[in-house]
A = this chain, B = another copy of it.
């Protein structure tokens, strides 16, 4: 996905938020915004938003000297999600279609980071998302929820590359992976996290803290971009990406960098911003399981 002009105000918003989270004083916050203003005119809109985001967070790191501004938020998100884990598995156990419920939960788990930053009642928000989604899927005939395709593909494959998004949220991914593992025990799962801090994206430590290792092999994308910019990923990751039987891409950042890539991908995301909702053709807040199933480049 290319960068839209509507992303530009948002880049400044993100820069300011990151600067504050990194503990920058007012003067440094202003310098960071000025630095972003200086690179904006040079930025190619053909690039995806996470390329610019990567530049922004680099500016924040350099100006503040804080290597991982979101460390505390990530830890909080992990803790909050782990506290919810027993309730999530209970929901799965009670479900008449555990895989369906697990997919929904994995996507809705995207709300965790927002909850931590905005003191949101995550439990309540989650229930709201799930209730809305059930209604929408019933009313709109699963236009943005390709569950049947997803299920039928799972029955035919030997391995999955799962591209993680945020810390905390990965506990919800774990629930989905556990259901997949239970139903298809022979499928090998690779769970890719970022190599270095990229906003609140999960790193290897987060995957460890959230118990992903019990159900998948945790690997690194080799990159610090908040998405999957293939050119910045390690050779081994790229090989896995092109050869995996199934790629599951989680969250907005991965969608922005991989929609349009020349291989089939299942995108699981909560459409949190109007630009992405518009690109997909859905509404903000929608729970999306889309299938990019043909060569689109």
Q: Which residues between 20 and 35 of chain A lie within 8 Å of chain B, taking CB atoms?
A: 26, 29-30, 33-34
Measured CB to CB, the nearest residue on chain B to A39 is B37
Q: What is the CB-to-nearest-CB distance from A154 to chain B, in angstroms, rounded to a whole number?
A: 41
Tell which of A8-16, A85-93, A183-191 binds the partner: A8-16
Contact B34 A5 (CB under 8 A): no
Measured CB to CB, the nearest residue on chain B to A10 is B9
- Check A13/B5 contact, CB under 8 A, given A37-B41, A40-B34, A41-B37: no
Query: Interface on chain A toward B: helix, strand, loop, or mixed SS?
Result: helix
- Check A16/B8 contact, CB under 8 A, given A37-B37, A37-B40, A40-B34: yes
Chain A positions 31 through 54: 1 when the CB is less than 8 Å from some CB of chain B, otherwise 0: 001100110110001000000000
A6 at the binding interface (Cβ < 8 Å):
yes
CA distance A184 to B152 in the complex (A): 78
Q: What is the CB-to-nearest-CB distance from A44 to chain B, in angstroms, rounded to a whole number?
A: 11
- Check A9/B13 contact, CB under 8 A, given A37-B38, A45-B30: yes
Query: Cβ of A10: which chain B residues have Cβ within 8 Å of it?
Result: 9
Q: What is the CB-to-nearest-CB distance from A66 to chain B, in angstroms, rounded to a whole number?
A: 18
Q: Can you offer 24 A-B residue contacts whose CB atoms are under 8 A?
A: A5-B16, A5-B26, A5-B29, A5-B30, A5-B33, A6-B16, A8-B12, A8-B16, A8-B33, A9-B9, A9-B10, A9-B12, A9-B13, A9-B16, A12-B12, A30-B45, A33-B40, A34-B40, A34-B41, A37-B37, A37-B38, A37-B40, A37-B41, A38-B41
Interface residues of A (CB under 8 A from B): 5-6, 8-10, 12-13, 16, 26, 29-30, 33-34, 37-38, 40-41, 45
Given contacts A5-B16, A5-B30, 8 further A-B contacts (CB under 8 A): A5-B26, A9-B10, A9-B16, A30-B45, A33-B40, A34-B40, A37-B38, A37-B40
Nearest 9 Cβ contacts at the A-B interface:
A9-B12, A34-B41, A9-B13, A37-B40, A37-B37, A9-B9, A8-B33, A5-B29, A8-B12
